[in-house]
């Protein structure tokens, strides 16, 4: 297996909503590898956040990777809009509809990398026939809908088993939810490649004082790297 390096993907759900452009530039300057955009519809998950116009508006401010996580149902009618808005990766939930195979096809057809997200209560059995269609698997370590929730430890074993299933396929495993310097090494050791962190990155900093963002990212990254 090639040597892994951990990527940190700050979630703008924890950023200052009135200053998204500046927040994104600040957190990238402080070491973010990707920018994670949590799209919620108030239906599939109990929260309402961003749509394609917001994604399009922040795209010019992102110089790394725009990682768009669709916690919405249905998904298919919105794929083209999020692709046209500038998404690099579009991740849909296995649980969001009956035709996830078609959804993944549509994401790739729209020119984006295809991600597949799994809620904490979802097992890996349904992944077997989808692995050759995905570029990324996002394992939720909290129930989707809100930031700042407590890490669900059962997902560590899920990631370990998922890594075995993936084998030598070029698929990245992303962890979303509850990532801190304490939980990052658990997921890194289990096989994670990308760690999404919201409050753990943005706490203590601001556009005017972004240094804490860099310190927070460094602490998560060092803890994760130490476990590899």
Supply the residues annotated as catalytic: 38, 176
Instruction: Sheet with 66-71: list strands edge to edge.
Output: 7-10, 194-197, 172-176, 136-140, 113-118, 89-93, 66-71, 35-40
- Please spell the DSSP secondary structure of the chain, one letter per residue: -PPP--EEEEBGGGS-GGGHHHHHHHHHHTT-S-EEEEEEBSSSSS-B---HHHHHHHGGG-SS-EEEEEE-SS-GGGHHHHHHTT-SEEEEEGGG-S-HHHHHHHHHHTTSEEEEEE-TT--SGGGTTTGGG-SEEEEESS-TT-SSPPP-THHHHHHHHHHHHHTTS--EEEEESS--TTTHHHHHHHT--EEEESHHHHTT--SS--HHHHHHHHHHHHHHHHH-
Place of tokens 């310190």: 215
């Amino acid at each position: 297996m090639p040597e892994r390096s951990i990527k940190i993907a700050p979630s703008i759900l924890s950023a200052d909503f009135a200053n998204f452009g500046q927040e994104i530039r600040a957190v990238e300057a402080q070491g973010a590898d990707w920018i994670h955009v949590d799209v919620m519809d108030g239906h599939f998950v109990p929260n309402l956040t961003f749509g394609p116009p917001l994604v399009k508006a922040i795209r010019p401010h992102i110089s790394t990777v725009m990682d768009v996580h669709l916690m919405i149902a249905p998904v298919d009618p919105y794929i083209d809009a999020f692709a046209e808005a500038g998404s690099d990766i579009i991740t849909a939930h296995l649980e969001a509809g009956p035709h996830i195979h078609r959804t993944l096809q549509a994401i790739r057809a729209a020119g984006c990398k295809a991600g597949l997200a799994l809620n904490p209560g979802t097992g890996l059995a349904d992944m077997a026939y989808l692995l050759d269609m995905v570029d990324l698997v996002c394992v939720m370590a909290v129930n989707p809908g809100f930031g700042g929730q407590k890490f669900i430890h059962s997902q560590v074993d899920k990631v370990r088993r998922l890594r075995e299933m993936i084998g030598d396929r070029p698929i990245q495993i992303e962890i979303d939810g509850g990532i801190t310097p304490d939980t990052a090494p658990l997921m890194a050791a289990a096989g994670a490649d990308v760690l999404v962190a919201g409050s753990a990155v943005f706490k203590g900093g601001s556009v005017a004082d972004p240094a804490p963002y860099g310190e927070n990212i460094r602490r998560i990254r060092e803890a994760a790297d130490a476990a590899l």
